Structure 1
Amino acid sequence: MTLRIGMIGTGWFSRKHAEYLSEMNGVKVQAICGTSMEKAATMAADFQGSQGYDDFKRMLDSEKLDAVYICVPPMAHGQIELELIERNIPFLVEKPLGIDIETPKKILTRLEKSSLLTAVGYHFRYKQSVQRLKKAVNSTTLGMVSGYWMGQMPEIAWWRKQEGSGGQFIEQTTHIVDVLRYVAGEVDEVYANYSNRVNHMKYEQVTVADVGAVSLKMKSGVVATISNTCILPEGVNKVGMTFYTDQNMIEWHPDRIQIKDTSGSIMEELKMDNPYISESEAFLHAVRTGDASQILSDYQDAYQTQLVTCAALESALKGVPVKVK
């Protein structure tokens, strides 16, 4: 059985997903929808037998699709997911789920009335390093965590606008929040401070904060802090987390972990696996068989991460701690 896949979006993520899908046995990129026919046709030309569309409803009417990948900017979520739920078409949606909590809540409410298969692109969960991290942390008593996503501001117009991306913590650092939840459990309360230090003076129409620090109280009692910035010069980056336990200190980076204890330090350089392929394999296996056990992040779970990142924004705006609920 060949699975016929539709792609909504023609940006980098959509293209990468399509490239990986086109190399899989029994999978065909059947249709691609973009914001213009030109964009859709250009991308479709790279995938044999694929058809371009500039309207996602027309694509769904014209093609018999087994699943759809949603790779659109954060502010564009909503109608696409609701239409797919109405048509009972499984979907994998890229993070974040939106720029706020209202739209994802509407989608979740509809999903809870169905049994539709979903997956969300929190790809770090599929990395060997995160699985190793989860195992290492679970064998200890965790006390606190510090996480960070430090880098540059993407050269994308919508990313620089609060109403386009939701800001760095919602659009980008959400990956760190999700790893924290995956490894350490649910968040009870957040307190955030955001500021504009550099980018609003360097570039036009920048409304997102470029520095931020968030304190998180976990339901287990664990205390965490997550910081981010997008003011660093090109090539200067730092992404990772440090877990402090009663037995050791565990430093996690996407492709390695380092465990330090009283006997010394062990660095584990893990293989350069491709989590994008792994998440697609898990999703498509579920589409074929109905077995969703390999999907590590579905819409319901990803909604909990969205709750945390949106609570942080609310806290930063109001200047008070905010419960995650």
Structure 2
Amino acid sequence: MAYSEKCRVGMIGAGNVAHRHARVLSGFADVEIVGVTDVVPTAAEALASTHGAPAFPDVATLLSLEPDAVYVCVPPFAHGHAEEAVLASGAAMFVEKPLGVDLTVPTRLAAEVARRGTLTAVGHHWRYLDVVRTAAQLLADHPVRLVNGVWWDKVPPVAWWIRSDRSGGPVVEQAAHVVDLARALVGPVTAVYAAGTGTPPPVPDADVDAATAATLIFSGGAVGTLSSACVLGWKQRAGLEIIADGLALFVGEDELVVRDGAGQERRIPGDPDAARVAVDRAFVDAIRGIGDDIRVPYAEALETHRVTCAIAESARTGQPVTLAAPAGPSVPAPRSGRAEFDGHDPRAVPVEGGSADG
């Protein structure tokens, strides 16, 4: 792509997360949203009109515009056909997490991504938090021994979330951010053992577990736990506690809490809105050839998805699940920023706000 050209982006899906990405992308002077499609036409029209773009009745019509990139922001159960069409078109592809309700579709898509060599990114924006980079730097000389991940929250206000065959369950859909953070900071997970309540949250027609607890074994020797609950009316806590030699951390979207050898507590504020901008900026920069900071391509996201699906399987069957070692090295959490380039920077100021993340 020539430096002076805009990156032409299509949107598949017009829910809350798609609105957030569109708002961020519209704040970049070198991006043009060329069209939106959704199975609910009024939703597509609402998102498209907000950003001066047309709405289209289906994916094929959107792809006929030959966009440079496509964002796939669909519910977990709807992944598959959209990605296959995007891959066949030759466009770069950004997929919102989770990749699916189980491993069937994501495994097939990952093979196709690898075969085609498609540029991809997945919306694990926590990897772009400055506090995550700081945590990684602090842990570089302190072996991790114990990890405790938590996601205690409410049931999101979307009908499909409470059905396991539609969402994959709370660990797959919601706690995936924490699992991805654990993989980024501690390393690959080799085994899990989990238990669920076997009863749903107090919401009509729900069949997902109200709470899940899991034990995780990491390849480097660390052990950990993950707990998830969706019975509150608010988000109580979401993040990762890490105990390393002489160091204790809590890493969340909003802050990093550090206790070191002196026992003094330091609190470093996080900036989730900046991370939500950064994940999109990195994708666009990679397409334009002016940056190389995609931290979670599709293959890397699949490794996180394998862990969350293993936890869900173990909770369902009551049996431990062993995971194979990743085919390649994990993409590291700390990166130094975008590549330098000469000339005028076409990027605009960061976008304000941001919706609750999916």
1:290 shift after superposition: 7.2
Q: 1:258 to 1:38 in 2, by over 3 A?
A: closer
Structure 2: state its 5+ residue gaps: 325-358
1:198 shift after superposition: 5.5
Q: State the distance in 1 between where 2:36 and 2:182 align.
A: 34
Q: Is the 8 A contact 2:195 2:212 kept in 1?
A: yes
Q: How many residues align?
A: 319
1:8 shift after superposition: 0.7
1:245 shift after superposition: 1.0
Q: State the distance in 2 between where 1:66 and 1:198 align.
A: 42
**Counterpart residue type for residue 320 of structure 1:** Q
* Alignment match, 2:267: 268
Q: 1:56 to 1:262 in 2, by over 3 A?
A: same
Q: State the distance in 2 between where 1:5 and 1:54 align.
A: 17
* SS across alignment from 1:308: helix
**Counterpart residue type for residue 45 of structure 2:** A
Q: Is the 8 A contact 2:129 2:270 kept in 1?
A: no
**Counterpart residue type for residue 53 of structure 1:** F
Q: State the distance in 2 between where 1:163 and 1:121 align.
A: 21
1:197 shift after superposition: 4.4
1:145 shift after superposition: 0.5
* SS across alignment from 1:151: strand
**Counterpart residue type for residue 184 of structure 1:** V
1:52 matched to 2:55: yes
* SS across alignment from 1:10: coil
Q: CA RMSD in A?
A: 1.4
Map 1:1-325 onto structure 2 (within 5 A). Answer: 1-48=5-52, 50-61=53-64, 63-197=65-199, 199=201, 202-232=202-232, 234-272=233-271, 273-289=273-289, 291=291, 293-325=292-324
1:196 shift after superposition: 4.0
Q: 1:41 to 1:198 in 2, by over 3 A?
A: closer
Structure 1: state its 5+ residue gaps: none
* SS across alignment from 1:264: coil
1:271 shift after superposition: 4.9
Note the alpha carbon deviations across 1:283-315, whole angstroms, 9 max, x for none: 001111175x30010001000001101111111
Q: Is the 8 A contact 1:5 1:66 kept in 2?
A: yes
1:261 shift after superposition: 2.9
Note the alpha carbon deviations across 1:37-96, whole angstroms, 9 max, x for none: 222112211112x110121112112x1201011110000001111111111110111000
Bigger relative contact order, structure 1 or 2 (CA pairs below 8 A, ≥6 apart) = 2
TM-score, with structure 1 as normaliser? 0.95
Q: State the distance in 2 between where 1:18 and 1:264 align.
A: 44
Q: State the distance in 1 between where 2:117 and 2:290 align.
A: 11
**Counterpart residue type for residue 284 of structure 2:** L
